[in-house]
Amino acid sequence: MIFDRNENREVIALLGAGSMGMAIIRRFAAGRKILLGDISKANLQKAADDLRYSGYDVETCIVNAMEKESVEAFAAKAASLGPVMYFVDTAGASPSQASPEHILKLDMVGTGYAVDAFGKVMAAGGAGLIISSQTGYMMPLPYEVEQQILNTDPEGLMEIEFIREKADRSGTAYMIAKRVNHLQAMKAAATTWKQRRARINTLSPGIIVTPLAYDEFRAAGDNYQVMIDASAAMRTASSDEIAEAGAFLLGEHASFITGTDLLMDGGVIASIRTGQYRLH
């Protein structure tokens, strides 16, 4: 049965078929073509089935987000389906899941590959969203290091001396990678994405309950509980709450917003900056 006979429909590409990304695209996927990309065939199948059984038009693509050619092929497939109006990148690994090198390659370099690849295929008026993290605010980078990052292609980021020296643990590697995400979106918004007349922003969630988050809770639950209690909200958030903010940044009401980050952490960073909470 053909559910939608409309041609040349807008395309939404999601890299990382996890709960947060799925919640975001569900907000505005009706009547559009969805392309899901993930390294796991099983994850893709489950995510695609969930969407298809809800009436969405979905295609899938195996993507290794740490390989430039794989990410570029994903972007090319998205463009072959129609005008690419939305791109969401949630691919990443948490500190308890991976080594510092893996985190840097996936969360930092891989994100750079995705930003660059989709900067070549986005349709005019389109929008991109990179899911970063509140941890991008936890380890401020020197001004000169940020300038070096802004002037370095993804392939060269891991050769930056500051990153090589400071990203010696998974936690610090994660913090650095997420701050680099902010800078990657800023640079793209002013250059390659601007040339496509498209917008790109980052969204930095705090403690969000997802299947991935449970790995962190098991590894450092006591620290997370203290962080939750010290925050202004005094609670965690859900993927649906992040999706509301994501849909806003991708939508028409945010058409004057590009190259910036939205911190959505329930007040954790405010607690740190004001001395109400100290990182352990």
Does residue 77 carry a catalytic annotation? no
Residue with tokens 């986005």: 122
Can you list the positions of beta strands (E) in the chain? 11-15, 33-38, 57-62, 84-89, 122-131, 199-205, 208-209, 237-238, 261-264
d(CA 11, CA 8): 9
Does residue 178 carry a catalytic annotation? yes
> Which residue is catalytic, options 113, 174, 187, 277?
174
Which residues, in sequence order, are bridge partners of residue 34? 12, 58
Residue with tokens 């999706």: 243
SS3 of 133, please?
coil
* Amino acid letter for position 61: C
> Which residue is catalytic, options 33, 68, 105, 178?
178
Asked if residue 213 lies in contact with residue 19, where contact means CB atoms within 8 angstroms, the answer is: no
Catalytic residues: 174, 178
